[in-house]
Chains A and B, each alone.
Chain A
Amino acid sequence: MNRISLSKGTGLLLLAGSITLCSCGENNAAPAAEASEPAAATTEAPATSDEKLFEAVTVPASLDASLADKGKTIYEMKCQSCHKLTDEKLVGPGWKGVTQRRSPGWIVAMTTKPEVMIAKDPDAQKLLEEHLVQMPNQNISAEEARQLLEFMRSNDGVK
């Protein structure tokens, strides 16, 4: 995966946005966190070898519709203002295809502790560089994040 190294100019931009948490630019060389996800049940490795940024999350091949419904309610209250269900960017990236682009563990981690991910995870840092608005911590529990993940899977056509 290609990485854009942060230029001095980008760093200034981030500062101008009063984004203080991330120490972007330090972790550019970190290895990719993301494993491409097969359609079947999957687990993935943690982000780095020395630091476990997130736990592996196992998802079944088929959709849990009631879980996805709960996720939809959370989406409408806490996520919809920034994320469309298409692939179109609003504040952050659209969710179409997110479950193919990202591992389940990465999604749950990004949903529950975005400030930690943005501080340490290279993919999260790349997203900040692209969108320039730090994803807020929306006070979402691990259980709720799992429901959101199921809603994302539903949005991506998992039956």
Chain B
Amino acid sequence: MKLSSTNLLLTAASAAVLAGGLQSCKSKAGGVSAASNDAAAKVYVAPGKHDEFYNIVSGGFNGQMSVYGIPSGRMFRIVPVFSQHPENGWGFSEETKPMLNTSHGFVPWDDLHHIALSTTKGEHDGRWAFGNANNTPRIARVSLSTFKTEEIIEIPNSAGNHSSPFITENTEYVVAGTRFSVPLDNGNTDVPINTYKDNFKGTVSFIGVDKTTGRMNIDFQLLLPGINFDLARAGKGASKDWFFFSCYNSEKANTLLEVNASAKDKDFIMAVNWKKAQAYARSGKGKKAAVKYAHNVLDEKNHTATSTIINEVLTLDPKDCPDMVYMMPCPKSPHGTDTDPSGEYIIGSGKLAATIPVFSFAKIQQAIASKNYDGNYDGIPVLKYDAVLHGEVQKPGLGPLHTEFDGKGNAYTSFFVSSEIVKWDIKSLKVLDRVPTYYSIGHLSIPGGPTAKPHGKYMIAYNKITKDRYLPTGPELTQSAQLFDISGDKMKLLLDFPTVGEPHYAEAIPAALVEKNSKKIYKIEENQHPYAAKGDNMAKVERKGNEVHVMMTAVRSHFTPDNIEGVKLGDVVYFHVTNVEQDWDVPHGFAVKGANNAEILIMPGETQTLKWTPDRTGIFPIYCTDFCSALHQEMQGYVRVSPANSNVALHFSTGTNKPAADVAAKK
């Protein structure tokens, strides 16, 4: 996505207004500032005070989500999702490894592009954040109470899960559309690439979400033409039973897509009546297809994930299911497709288009009723462009990507090529305001922006190019986000803040909806981990063949046991560490010298397991890695590893240098 950035810089710089006073840096030393004069006061959150919004931000190629406060732009936490996280042991601990299992085995990385926060009646409900894995197709569900990834489901018959994880109004479904069309998993997959048009298929999966638990299951998959599905949005209000998917490469090119997928004037936005699809699935219109995919669930009671391989998926072919899928022509490789808060307007952003088309849901319904078709595409009816069009925004900018809403009748569209955000009136299609972004914006986010109830106060731009905005750090730079005040007629730049990974989409939600549910501890009484040591009486070391299981407690400031002998070369040691504290914000860490993985962080009341295969004999220190108390530096111990044929008996202890006290304690 790199363009001629020199031109961009010049354009952006000349469009910018120099700020007076606030910035201590002169524009010669840093980037151009266009912040308004009262910007500092508007983003200042006093020490100890909380931000007004949570911003849940995709991490792109770091495979994670990160959590920021708005308006301060302060980062609070990185939530590991599809990528291993040595910082807390995610994907390294025995409990969390199954979360990264797939039909391809253990996949410890992915590319997380989009966030969907759960909604009820079209409004944020503060329960879950969904994220997509772009590379090895998966969808994750993160709890907004624990900020932990609770579930990951793999998507079969898919490649490049980009059109994902968008949700219906009441979070009935989360969808996953293929970016890459590929031969279906259960057919002949070993085909020449140039037989694309004959052998490659696209799919869109509808993943059911349990109302209470959030548990996901693939309810059905639509078998679709072999094109590229890019993004999606559900309808809301009158259009709530529908889902809209942007599609490109209707040319079905399989090489040099840059040119070959840009040949036609129009591609499509695909409209799916998901209620009808659901009814077809229930009434036996689907076919079961043999596939293989993993479904991974983290159990909050035993803090352990399980991975189940599933071998079947229900597929629906539009040929057998009339009135389920329609195509709407949309100019030039649409990227974003966004539904306004009322659900009446669907906005397509053609990356290469000179206009922004706005479709009318009422007109779509009329066109379908009167069969106002412009032929078909692989048997799917194509609705006439003019018949479904509300109108076009003329000359809005170059390279439109995504649109968000403020709930006051305005739309805000990001423009990558002209590096700006353009505010326009949805009904009149008139451009109202434009601001430059530094530089080359991708996604943008307004709190509640994709929902029926936007909070039109702030807008955040996630820029793709950083250049001179911060102190340089060599060739690789932080990614730059920018906060705007959109409460007035004019958009005003307030703040630049750096982000981790490469954010794509993000959502922001009022803190009041999330803060109150934040979990503080895991109750030790409810810990059902099979190796939990719920108190020192349960702390012990057991041998099972060549496996040595250490059931250990951690408390400020010692481990029990902290002296372990009798481990032999060839043994595999499992340290099951239970943090028996019940106090908020008192995690303990655990590390052992020479372990070929990472540390584990154990939250209060939790049990986590680090696997260690000693590679030599000797004394191996263990210690707490999370500064926990004044005597944190004393929180340490030793494991002795003896030769395989050694006679050293398995022995463990804590504080046996005071035997009299121990005897007394056992009374």
Question: Taking CB as reference atom, which chain B residue is nearest A15?
Answer: B630
Q: Which residue on chain A has the smallest CB distance to residue B520?
A: A139
Q: Which residue of B lies closest to A18 (CB)?
A: B627
Q: Mark B338-367, 1 if CB is under 8 A from A, else 0.
A: 000000000000000000000000000000
Q: How many residues of B contact A (CB 8 A)?
A: 30
Q: How far is the CB of B629 from chain A (nearest CB, A)?
A: 5
Chain B residues, Cβ within 8 Å of A18: 627, 629-630
For the complex, is B556 an interface residue (Cβ under 8 Å from A)? yes
- Kindly state whether residue B581 has any CB partner on chain A within 8 Å: yes
Contact B630 A17 (CB under 8 A): yes
Q: How far is the CA of A88 from the CA of B659 in the complex (A)?
A: 12
Contact (A136, B553) CB under 8 Å given A19-B630, A80-B537, A84-B665: no
**Does B629 contact A133, Cβ atoms closer than 8 Å?**
yes
A133–B534 CB distance below 8 A: no
CB distance from B338 to the nearest CB of A (A): 45
- Which of B58-66, B315-323, B521-529 makes up part of the contact surface? B521-529
Contact string against A for B residues 290-316, beta-carbon threshold 8 Å, 1 for contact and 0 otherwise: 000000000000000000000000000
| Interface pair A85/B627, CB less than 8 Å apart | no
Judged by a CB distance under 8 angstroms, whether B583 is at the interface is: yes
In the bound complex, residues from chain B placing their C-beta under 8 Å from that of A133 are 556-557, 629-631
Min C-beta distance of A87 to chain B, whole Å? 9
Assess whether B586 is interfacial by the CB under 8 Å rule.
yes
Residues of chain A within 8 A of B535, CB atoms compared: 76-78, 80-81
Please tell me if B560 contacts chain A, counting CB pairs below 8 Å: yes
Asked if A134 lies at the interface with its beta carbon under 8 angstroms from chain B, I say yes
B558 interface contact, C-beta 8 A: yes
Chain A residues with CB below 8 A from B631, complex form: 17, 91, 132-133
- Residue among B525, B586, B630 facing the most chain A CB atoms (10 A cut-off): B630
In the bound assembly, the distance between CA atoms of A13 and B631 in angstroms comes to: 11
Q: Determine the chain A residues whose CB is within 8 A of the CB of B10 once the complex forms.
A: none
Asked if A81 and B560 make an inter-chain contact with CB atoms under 8 angstroms apart, the answer reads: yes
**Given A76-B537, A81-B555, A91-B558, is A137 in contact with B582 using a C-beta cutoff of 8 Å?**
yes
Chain B contact surface mostly: loop
Cα–Cα, bound, A84→B629 (Å): 19
Q: Is the CB of A91 within 8 A of B582?
A: no
Check if B664 sits within 8 Å of A13, measured CB to CB.
no
Contact of A139 among B523, B536, B557, B560 (CB under 8 A): B523
Q: Contact check: which of A77, A84, A132, A137 meets B583 at CB < 8 Å?
A: A137
- Encode contact with A along B569-581: 1 for CB under 8 Å, 0 otherwise: 0000000000011
Residues 127-148 of A contacting B (Cβ, < 8 Å)? 132-134, 136-140
Q: Does A86 contact B (CB under 8 A)?
A: yes
Interface residues of A in 49-101 (CB under 8 A from B): 76-78, 80-82, 84-86, 88, 90-91
Contacting residues, chain B, for A14 (C-beta < 8 A):
630
In angstroms, how far is the closest chain B Cβ from the Cβ of A96?
8
Complex-state Cα separation, A16 to B629, whole angstroms:
9
A78, B627: Cβ atoms closer than 8 Å: no
**A-B pairs, 3 with minimum CB distance:** A17-B630, A136-B583, A81-B555
Q: List 5 A-B contacts (CB under 8 A).
A: A17-B630, A19-B630, A85-B665, A138-B583, A139-B582
